[in-house]
Structure 1
Amino acid sequence: MSSPFVRNGSAATQNVHQLLPRDVKLEEEELPDYNSQYFYPVRLGDVFESRYQVITKLGFGVGSSVWLCRDLEQQAHVAAQSTNEVVVMRHIRSTDFEHPGERYLRLALKEFTICGPGGEHRCLLYAPQGMTYTELRNSLPNRMLDKALLQQSYQLILIGLDLLHQLDVVHTEHPSARKVLQDRTVYRSHSMPITHGTPVLCDFGGARIGERKHRGDVMPDFYRAPEVILGMEWDCKIDIWSIGVMVWDLFEGSRLFYALKNHILDDEQHLAEMVALMGPPPLSFLQRSEKCRKYWDAEGRWIAATPIPEQSLDAREGRLEGEDHKLLLDFLSKILKWLPEERASAQELISHPFLMQRAEQPQRTSTSAMVNYVPGYIDSTPQLDFKAYWEDEDHLAQGEPEPNVRSQTLVYHYKGKKWWIKVTLMGLISCISNEQKASKRERRKEFQGFVKVINYGSLALLDDTMTEIILREEPEVATAIELYCEATDSASRIAGVVSKLRYQIREDPLRVIYLLCEEFPSLDQINITELTNKVEIADGVF
């Protein structure tokens, strides 16, 4: 069968009927506290309630798994999940409350109990949903949402979140390969395709109910609010914090907080980065937990060993300019507050000017840059359409002035043809690392100024995929990158070491080939069983 899209080197390239060895852990078995008794031993083809036939596995959680089923009575599809979301779902259903946010919550259509070897399992039935927003973001060529999609999505999500908070619910979270065991079969999950429709809030397994304050370690590691890190009481405003942090994941293409030291999650590093972006916390906040004494003195001065990184939201936000840039920063300033009570509510954020901008006035997500004409080499003028700029932000936590990796995605047009290209600069270039620190916006403009004068006509570009050109200082490699002309002053730092830069061409391992993508109408469907992880396309090009 053909896959709706193909990810290079992903699990999708493996035989869908592959039988795995028993000693290889798969999916839920890799969870730290995995207990097989928590999971009903579902098998493909099973029929529940004499009506719902299992087709494939969609996913799993700490104590539940999700399966796509066919409704044999109505000839429709539903998703079945064994879960502990029942209490939250019943609470929401029991309220006589009219609110437009209900359409943006995934609530169960039906619940029933099934008996397994380990006892009873509660099963909830849902209408099937499409892919997650993270999967949607990763499927885009530049792995980032554009401004219009971010704005529209956030308004709808906030409407749903406002309903949850008004009902005193805190969300807090945010044929397949198989392994046959003696008492069960563990399957690999399948992704859902891109679908039409609105976003929904789901996964209420960790949600809390009630007006009172709560305690406990909740939220995924990098998205934890400061009150959670410091063991304070928390309420629905941790959901608001998550909304702000997720902007960076979806729109900027990186995490807002690095929060790692020696590749291990570190609370001190996490808090130091918060101080860098939000300023020092007020004394009233520090008085709410004894843990604060490890990091601040009685006057609120930072005393921990980890230095405060030199960064700001203004410098790190590099996709928008002018009024759009100011509005996004103002939106985030309403969210990223030390004191939870000072964060805006979901209802207040819905009408923020950044989200209220009209779709008919979208942010230009690309700019065209004309490459200089070289007489005698070509008989037409190539054109570049800049797409997304990205850079590795590990340098912020490590105190380095420049990123170790930066890349620019673009479309190269020439003689009626076009190629998707990603130019990646690896390592700290010697003459750049010692210069005065620049903002992300300045680095983007500098890199684009260099990228637009590269002679792409001299390179072996790959058709119908994403060509990645990797540049690094490697004198021992023979092939140097060629430029059409001298770079502008804004890109002179990089152009100054062009004689030392060497290039390597490969197919971008993160690319996704869309079989319905209008960019490549001639692209044939590919049988996933015929793919290999590494194919030589041309001499030395993989």
Structure 2
Amino acid sequence: MYSSQWASVPRKFPSSGFKLLDSSSCIEEETLPTYQAQKYYPTQQGEVLNNRYQILAKLGYGVTSTVWFGRDLVNASYVALKIYVTGEKREDELNIYHHLNSVEFKHPGKRFIRKLFDHFVITGPHGHHICLVHEPLGISAGELLEWIPGKAVTLEDMKVCVRQLLVVLDFLHSVAGVIHTDLQLKNLLLPTPKPEALTDFEEEELRMPSARKVLQDRTIYVSSRFPPGDGLPLLSDFGEARLSSERHNEDIMPNPYRAPEVILRANWDAKVDIWSVAMVAWDIVSSSTLIKGRNSDGIFDDRVHLAELVAVLGSPPPDFRERSHLSSVFWDDSGTWKGLAPIPDITLESLAANVKEEDKDGFLRLIRRALQWNPSDRPTALELLYDEWLMKGLEQGKREGVTKP
């Protein structure tokens, strides 16, 4: 099979020489509690999708998709392909990308957003699958931290990452009118690895193909470890993004990151992303999340979550409680906690005990600025970017002749 449009010839993968795994053992996406085989497209290594993109290796999987490293045969370049399960329409995500691409205003934050190159529909044996074609960025910030002793970095390294994230959010909030709503380490991806690293990755997959499990109707591949990439992470995954021009009160955000107005089903705005910035900053310098939010059975529980917030932030002000009728479930009319869950004996300072650096006080002030009960009391992305403590390292870098975001 060959197309006159192709600038490169598809690679031919070996039909033997790879490790065959026990077909009775669950691996990869099969281990997910909601897994249904027929919902996933039965991707085959080496196949060409949309008469253009050849599948080279599996990069990962999730509840809604699998992700693959591929080659654009028309442009002779590498791409990442995200193939969604059936039933995932993704029109909202595509509309957000089209909206972002239509913004002509020049802003430095725009270049730190992962690019969407293309999208198309695959017809599988059990329905249609949306496929998004992205630039092939490196591993996530979360994966990178797994490689670092203590699973955390210094406050100075964190500052550089957070400054860039705030530049991106200033573009999204003040120029594009977009709320991301899903800021977390797994959605911050390192830049595209060097071309030679991508070539080596492809050649290694041809020389030693990934282990796999071969079933009657599909093959389940083991995800390959992708080269990390070098530089500051870019923001990806706009699947949960919303336009700020619309009114919102739907449930959003990863459980331990949820802002209090989201927990209480009140209206929310772009300030939920500012709340998330504090949570992400914390995760970069600490090996455990700031909020646990789980009850004794290990289940996320709004009562436990709010009790932890009261312990860390103090009681919410009256005007915040008035934002939602659900506040009366947790606090009485005078603002006293009703005790639906015990308030733990923790403080922001005690939780930061493992952050052992002299400049910790400035870090905690930054966290407190972003973690305000009232969204209107939280700074904008630009205001937080110019936080005195956050800017401190930047000024020092300039004096030393180092350019940082």
TM-score bucket of the superposed structures, by smaller chain: 0.7 to 0.9
Distance 1:35 1:162, change over 3 A: farther
- Per-residue deviation, 1:22: 4.1
Q: Residues 68 and 128 of structure 1 are in contact (CA less than 8 Å); yes or no, is this contact kept in structure 2?
A: yes
Aligned match of 1:168: 177
Distance 1:30 1:237, change over 3 A: farther
Distance 1:19 1:154, change over 3 A: same
Which secondary structure does the structure 2 equivalent of 1:113 belong to?
strand
Distance 1:360 1:231, change over 3 A: closer
Aligned match of 1:224: 258
- Per-residue deviation, 1:360: 8.3
Q: What amino acid maps onto 1:149 in structure 2? A: D
Aligned match of 2:317: 282
Distance 1:77 1:269, change over 3 A: same
2:106 matched to 1:106?
no
Q: TM-score, normalised by structure 1?
A: 0.60
Q: What amino acid maps onto 2:156 in structure 1? A: A
Aligned match of 2:14: none
- Per-residue deviation, 1:63: 2.2
Aligned match of 1:353: 388
Aligned match of 1:375: none
5 Å-filtered alignment, 1:357-376, equals 357-358=392-393
Distance 1:179 1:87, change over 3 A: farther
2:96 matched to 1:88?
yes
| In 2: Cα distance, 1:122 partner to 1:272 partner | 41
Distance 1:229 1:20, change over 3 A: farther
- Per-residue deviation, 1:281: 0.4
Deviations 1:256-294 (A, max 9, x none): 012122122222111111001111001111122232222
5 Å-filtered alignment, 1:4-403, equals 17-83=18-84, 84=90, 85-166=93-174, 167-174=176-183, 175-262=209-296, 263-318=298-353, 319-322=355-358, 324-358=359-393
Q: Residues 162 and 346 of structure 1 are in contact (CA less than 8 Å); yes or no, is this contact kept in structure 2?
A: yes
- Per-residue deviation, 1:188: 2.4
Q: Residues 148 and 359 of structure 1 are in contact (CA less than 8 Å); yes or no, is this contact kept in structure 2?
A: no
| In 2: Cα distance, 1:359 partner to 1:207 partner | 30
Distance 1:241 1:92, change over 3 A: same
| In 2: Cα distance, 1:300 partner to 1:80 partner | 50
| In 1: Cα distance, 2:303 partner to 2:251 partner | 16
- Per-residue deviation, 1:297: 0.5
Q: In proportion to residue count, which structure has more helix?
A: 2
Which secondary structure does the structure 1 equivalent of 2:370 belong to?
coil
- Per-residue deviation, 1:336: 0.5
Distance 1:110 1:151, change over 3 A: same
Q: What amino acid maps onto 2:302 in structure 1? A: D
Q: What amino acid maps onto 2:390 in structure 1? A: L
Deviations 1:393-418 (A, max 9, x none): xxxxxxxxxxxxxxxxxxxxxxxxxx
Higher Cα radius of gyration: 1
- Per-residue deviation, 1:74: 4.2
Distance 1:215 1:20, change over 3 A: farther
Distance 1:61 1:91, change over 3 A: farther
- Per-residue deviation, 1:340: 1.3
Q: Residues 277 and 311 of structure 1 are in contact (CA less than 8 Å); yes or no, is this contact kept in structure 2?
A: yes
- Per-residue deviation, 1:206: 1.6
Q: What amino acid maps onto 1:105 in structure 2? A: I
- Per-residue deviation, 1:207: 1.6
Q: What amino acid maps onto 2:320 in structure 1? A: F
Which secondary structure does the structure 2 equivalent of 1:309 belong to?
coil
Aligned match of 2:8: none
> What is the Cα-based RMSD across aligned positions, in Å?
2.2
- Per-residue deviation, 1:128: 0.8
Unaligned stretches of 5+ residues in structure 2: 1-16, 85-89, 184-208, 398-405
- Per-residue deviation, 1:121: 2.5
Distance 1:117 1:294, change over 3 A: same
Q: Residues 38 and 64 of structure 1 are in contact (CA less than 8 Å); yes or no, is this contact kept in structure 2?
A: no
Q: What amino acid maps onto 2:273 in structure 1? A: D
Q: What amino acid maps onto 1:306 in structure 2? A: A
Deviations 1:456-515 (A, max 9, x none): xxxxxxxxxxxxxxxxxxxxxxxxxxxxxxxxxxxxxxxxxxxxxxxxxxxxxxxxxxxx
| In 2: Cα distance, 1:172 partner to 1:213 partner | 14
Q: Residues 112 and 124 of structure 1 are in contact (CA less than 8 Å); yes or no, is this contact kept in structure 2?
A: yes
- Per-residue deviation, 1:33: 3.6
Which secondary structure does the structure 1 equivalent of 2:132 belong to?
strand
| In 1: Cα distance, 2:122 partner to 2:283 partner | 38
Q: What amino acid maps onto 1:87 in structure 2? A: N
| In 1: Cα distance, 2:330 partner to 2:26 partner | 40
Aligned match of 1:432: none
| In 1: Cα distance, 2:153 partner to 2:167 partner | 20
Q: Residues 56 and 189 of structure 1 are in contact (CA less than 8 Å); yes or no, is this contact kept in structure 2?
A: yes
| In 2: Cα distance, 1:340 partner to 1:34 partner | 37
| In 1: Cα distance, 2:40 partner to 2:346 partner | 45
Segment drifting more, 95-104 vs 150-159? 95-104
| In 1: Cα distance, 2:64 partner to 2:345 partner | 41
Q: Residues 158 and 349 of structure 1 are in contact (CA less than 8 Å); yes or no, is this contact kept in structure 2?
A: yes
Deviations 1:237-271 (A, max 9, x none): 11111111122221022210121221222221111
Q: Residues 118 and 133 of structure 2 are in contact (CA less than 8 Å); yes or no, is this contact kept in structure 1?
A: yes
Q: What amino acid maps onto 1:71 in structure 2? A: D
| In 1: Cα distance, 2:268 partner to 2:222 partner | 36
| In 1: Cα distance, 2:328 partner to 2:24 partner | 46
Which secondary structure does the structure 2 equivalent of 1:265 belong to?
coil
Which secondary structure does the structure 2 equivalent of 1:261 belong to?
coil
